[in-house]
Amino acid sequence: MRCNHLQEAKESYLCHFKVAGLYGLKMIAAGFCLLLHAICPWICLKTGSTMVNNASDFFKKRAAASQIDAVKQPDSHPADQ
């Protein structure tokens, strides 16, 4: 299967697998904390939302870094994609 996503992310398959897999597991854990909090509101008061916010910050920083890298490369044009 051909996919430009790994090239755009500038990651090998293994590196992408590790990052995506790790954050997938973290989001499952965050979901579990939020479900537990829904049942027992006095448990995991901020755990789930903190985990989700941390993941969001991580991906925003990666996206910003990716855009900076694209600006540094003069042969990278949006029309070529």
Query: Which has the higher per-residue pLDDT, 75 or 18?
Result: 18
Tokens linked to 77: 């044009």
Is pLDDT at 73 greater than 80 in this prediction? no
Query: Which has the higher per-residue pLDDT, 39 or 16?
Result: 39
| Residue-range domain boundaries for the chain | 16-71
Region 73-77 average pLDDT: 51
Region 23-28 average pLDDT: 94
Contact by Cβ (8 Å): 8, 66 = yes
Q: pLDDT tens across 29-68, in order?
A: 999 999 999 999 999 999 999 999 999 999 899 888 877 6
